[in-house]
Amino acid sequence: MQLPTAFIQKYTELLGEEAPAFLAAFEEQPTRGFRVNPLKGGQTPTAHTLKEPVQYCSFGYYGAVDGKTLDHQSGLIYSQEPSAMYVGEVAHPQPQDRVLDLCAAPGGKTTHLASFMAQGGLLVSNEINRKRAEILAENVERFGLQNTVVTNESPDSLEKYFPEFFNVIVVDAPCSGEGMFRKDHEAVQYWTPDYPASCANRQKKILQSALKMLRPGGRLIYSTCTFAPEEDEQNMAWLLQNYPDMQMVPIKKFPGMQDGRPEWADGNPQLKAALRLFPHQVRGEGHFIAQLQKADGQMQVKAPKPQKTNLNRQQKQDWHKVEGQILKTPIPESRLLVFGDYLYAMPANLPQLANLQVVRPGVNLGRYKKNRFEPGLPLALANQPEAFVAPVQLTQAQWENYVHGDTFTVSEVSNGWHVLVCRGLTVGFGKVVNGTVKNFYPKKLRFAVRNK
């Protein structure tokens, strides 16, 4: 890889004796990994090996992901670079927490945070770029999250809706991407000597908004995938200087992880509590992580009002007709929200969403069509097989037909809607008509399994 001369000079000066090993690491292949989804009832992947766990991640393993597998399609695994896994592990929210992932796309941090929350609490996953927010929503749906809302807002707009609201906020800030150079060669082309400072200014604005949304006693986890001190220690030094109610919290460091470098900022010894992951010392890409806590104090604002349901009588009837066929336990009507042509199950105690740009206000239950309601794939993925009435068990061959968009036959199954299950994993819905399963797997997601 041809690194910029100014980049080489900068880190040769900063790292000294470490610099040759650091620069040599850019010639090595990037490390790949994935996490197993604990919300899938303890199922074990069949197409991906769990022989090499990531030491510092509860759910992490080394290895590449094959997207055309049941493991991936069902949301049982999520591809994530191993160093990035430690951000969610440090955040480690509790099931009752209110959590914000402020710069969330494509969804690695969000799905990791949700893995600890056991479908409880509230997780707001925000992305300012609309296309990336839609990808984020797709990943949230595949992972099967019931407690998550996806928004498409700028941080300074979001702060007006959630003042002092969240217990845990993760800011995986847009950055110069130096830590991803060997994984994304295009990132090298964007880099200039002035780029880190430009990114640092944007990161400060994001942090200002995040701190307005953090409750007294709450934790802020700040991370980047860059080595640049301007974006890492210097931003944390700025935060500590300007927000005296914030303090660094030490992070457990595993072998190969380094302390933050106070000498690269203002010398504040608190900065040693942050950590750095360098590719010549850990099996992963470059990352910086800092954890801070806000001092306890009295809340300055009132809790926002909860979002109300908005179904009309016909919409209720159409939904309940299908709900009775497929779900053992009804969803409380107070949590139902019509959003365009779609029906969602909102997380409990969701605040009002009026005037917010919302991509996904909860679990997408399905779509209203003329005189009927069709259940959607996200509803299937968000629940275990035992939550449904009369699941239909598929063989591997039938699953391959299903994701390809084909119909197939089953025996001794009643007509109507059924959730489809393969190897203990919910994979979607089909409508059985006289033994034939009509295929409702989304057309844009269909694919042919290799060697089919």
Residues with a catalytic annotation lie at 225
Q: Cβ of 170: how many Cβ atoms within 10 Å?
A: 28
Cα–Cα distance measured from residue 41 to residue 36, given in angstroms and rounded to the nearest whole number: 11
Q: Is it true that the peptide bond before 106 is cis, omega within 30 degrees of 0?
A: yes
If DSSP states are collapsed to H, E and C, what string results for the chain? CCCCHHHHHHHHHHHHHHHHHHHHHHHCCCCCEEEECCCCCCCCCCCCCCCCECCCCCCEEECCCCCCCHHHHCCCEEECCHHHHHHHHHHCCCCCCEEEECCCCCCHHHHHHHHHHCCCCEEEEECCCHHHHHHHHHHHHHHCCCCEEEECCCHHHHCCCCCCCEEEEEEECCCCCHHHCCCCCHHHHHCCCCHHHHHHHHHHHHHHHHHHHEEEEEEEEEEECCCCCCCCHHHHHHHHHHCCCEEECCCCCCCCCEECCHHHCCCCHHHHHCEEECCCCCCCCCEEEEEEEECCCCCCCCCCCECCCCCCHHHHHHHHHHHHHHECCCCCHHHEEEECCEEEECCCCCECCCCCCEEECCEEEEEEECCEEEECHHHHHCCCHHHECCCEECCHHHHHHHHHCCCEECCCCCCEEEEEEECCEEEEEEEEECCEEEECCCHHHCCCCCCC
Q: Contact at 8 Å (CB) between 32 and 64? A: yes
Residue reference for tokens 């006693």: 217
End-to-end alpha carbon distance in the chain: 38
The token pair that represents 185 in the structure block: 């060669």
Q: Contact at 8 Å (CB) between 311 and 336? A: yes
Cα–Cα distance measured from residue 172 to residue 271, given in angstroms and rounded to the nearest whole number: 18
Residues 6+ apart with CB under 8 A from 118: 39, 95
The token pair that represents 325 in the structure block: 């066929």
Residue reference for tokens 């914000």: 100
